[in-house]
Structures are given as structure tokens and as C-alpha cells.
Amino acid sequence: MRKFLAIAAMSLVMAGTAAAQGGGGGMGGMQMDPAQMQQRTFDRLFKDITVTDAVKTKAMDIIKKHQGEMAAIDPQAADRRDQMMHHRTAMHTELKGLLTSDADKATFDKNAAAPMGRRGGGPPR
């Protein structure tokens, strides 16, 4: 009986500690809703490009469509990476098609090729 109570007490302590740590969620624990993710994608791809409200609306619709399709991909699928790359390439092609100036298209290409920020890992050593 004592062993059982000791194990139960340890389990409660461990569960409390785990709950206090909170969820990871990536991005330093920051959780984004789909609208925030779409805005962040727009801001990253259209950095230094001025667009009209109509173009922004069309761009946000394209981003929303493709992010929904990418979210529906089975995380366990063997070809998940290929599917994601296909959708990302298609999204970039559609978004770039909204731009008229060659300079804006070049800036878009530069933005699309830029790394998306720091990913995982600890501090540099």
C-alpha cells in the first residue's frame, strides 16, 4: 500500500510539473491562428513591394487556399515534403502572377528564396 501511495504521489508531482511547463507550439511557444499565418506569409513574400488593396485581397485568398491544402496533407505521408513543395511552388507562381512590374517580380523572388527565420536548435556555440 505504501508503494502504491508513493507512486501515486510521484505521478501527481510529475503531472503538475509537466502542466506548468506549458506547450511548445514552435516559434518560442507562440501559437498563431490561420489568419495570422496568412498575414505573416503575405508580409514575408511582399516585403518591399507596394500593392493595391485589390491585389492584397487576391493574394490573401491565394495564400488561404494553399495553406488550407497544405494543412490537409497527411503528416505521416511518405511524400509529404514533395506535396508541400508542390503547393508552395504553385502558391508562389500564382502570387507572382498578380505583380506587373519586373522589379516587383524580382523582389518577390528574392523574398520567396529568403530563409523563413531561425528554426529550432539552441543558441550558437
Is residue 52 assigned to a domain? no
Is residue 82 assigned to a domain? yes
Is residue 91 assigned to a domain? yes
Q: What is the pLDDT of residue 113?
A: 93
Q: Kindly report, residue by residue over 14-36, the tens digit of the pLDDT.
A: 655 555 555 545 545 567 788 99
Is residue 60 assigned to a domain? no
How does residue 13 score in pLDDT terms, banded at 50, 70 and 90?
low
What residues make up the domain containing 83?
77-115
Is residue 100 assigned to a domain? yes
Listed in sequence order, the residues at least 6 apart from 69 whose beta carbon sits closer than 8 Å to its beta carbon are 87
Q: Kindly report, residue by residue over 39-84, the tens digit of the pLDDT.
A: 999 999 999 999 999 999 999 999 999 999 999 999 999 999 999 9
C-alpha cell at 76: 505521416
Is residue 96 assigned to a domain? yes
Contact 44, 116 (CB under 8 A): yes
Q: What is the pLDDT of residue 57?
A: 97
Q: How many domains does the chain have?
A: 1
Please measure the distance between the N-terminal and C-terminal CA atoms of the chain and give it in whole angstroms: 49
Residue 96 has pLDDT above 90, yes or no: yes
Residue 97 has pLDDT above 60, yes or no: yes
